[in-house]
A and B are shown apart, each in its own frame.
Chain A
Amino acid sequence: DGGITQSPKYLFRKEGQNVTLSCEQNLNHDAMYWYRQDPGQGLRLIYYSQIVNDFQKGDIAEGYSVSREKKESFPLTVTSAQKNPTAFYLCASSIYRHYNSPLHFGNGTRLTVT
């Protein structure tokens, strides 16, 4: 079955530590995205990548970094510079253009930083 796998489902870290969230897709999609969801908030775009070895900042990229070395993988690193890292993180993918190609989301990683 094709889909997007995010791991782990729950992640706990101490303040000041960097942490990397995994996202893998086997849908052969070109574009991948990272969103963040906070309680009572919509999804906010952190980073996106339309092709391998290329990515762009979204609306809230500060304190985050990404890489896109393989088409299937788009890991997100939450650095110690991110002021409020505790959130629900969602990875998504789509065929290159959104039109007629809605986002497919993973089931998310809930990150708690204490």
Chain B
Amino acid sequence: DQQVKQNSPSLSVQEGRISILNCDYTNSMFDYFLWYKKYPAEGPTFLISISSIKDKNEDGRFTVFLNKSAKHLSLHIVPSQPGDSAVYFCATLQGGSEKLVFGKGTKLTVNP
């Protein structure tokens, strides 16, 4: 059973608009959440993270929101740029564990 779900396999947005990528998790013990970005034939690169003591973390154009009661997090990219086109993975970590649990990813396409 998937512990981390990214229900949208793909998302397409226009350049300059907002991109919203969503992630749901099932285990309330998860307390650290990360987003990774992956281009084809490359390894993922870390984008932004948030711990469960916060509900928002911002880094430039990227903001992650965490709703613990709904077990939901989202990544907002504003404004979206064509270079943001990639697969985005959310990942979660339970306190004391070394095992990141990844979602299946959402492929974002930003059209010029």
The interface of chain A, by Cβ under 8 A from chain B, is: 4, 6, 9, 31, 35, 40-45, 48, 50, 56, 58-59, 90, 92, 97-99, 102-108, 110
Query: Are B34 and A106 within 8 A (Cβ)?
Result: no
- Find chain A residues with CB under 8 A from B49 CB: 102
Query: Are B46 and A108 within 8 A (Cβ)?
Result: no
B89 and chain A: residue at smallest CB distance:
A42
The interface of chain B, by Cβ under 8 A from chain A, is: 4, 9, 32, 34, 36, 41-46, 49, 51, 89, 91, 93, 98-100, 102-105
User: A50 touches which one: B34, B43, B89, B98 (CB < 8 A)?
Assistant: B98
Which 7 residue pairs spanning A and B have beta carbons closest together? Answer: A105-B43, A42-B102, A102-B46, A43-B102, A42-B104, A107-B43, A107-B42
| Interface CB pairs A-B, < 8 A, 15 | A9-B41, A41-B104, A42-B105, A45-B99, A56-B98, A59-B99, A98-B32, A98-B98, A99-B51, A99-B93, A102-B46, A102-B49, A103-B44, A105-B43, A106-B43
Query: Are A108 and B34 within 8 A (Cβ)?
Result: no
- Find chain B residues with CB under 8 A from A44 CB: 102
User: B104 touches which one: A31, A40, A50 (CB < 8 A)?
Assistant: A40
Task: Please report the C-alpha to C-alpha distance between residue A58 and residue B102 in the assembled complex, in whole angstroms.
Answer: 13
Query: Are B41 and A42 within 8 A (Cβ)?
Result: no
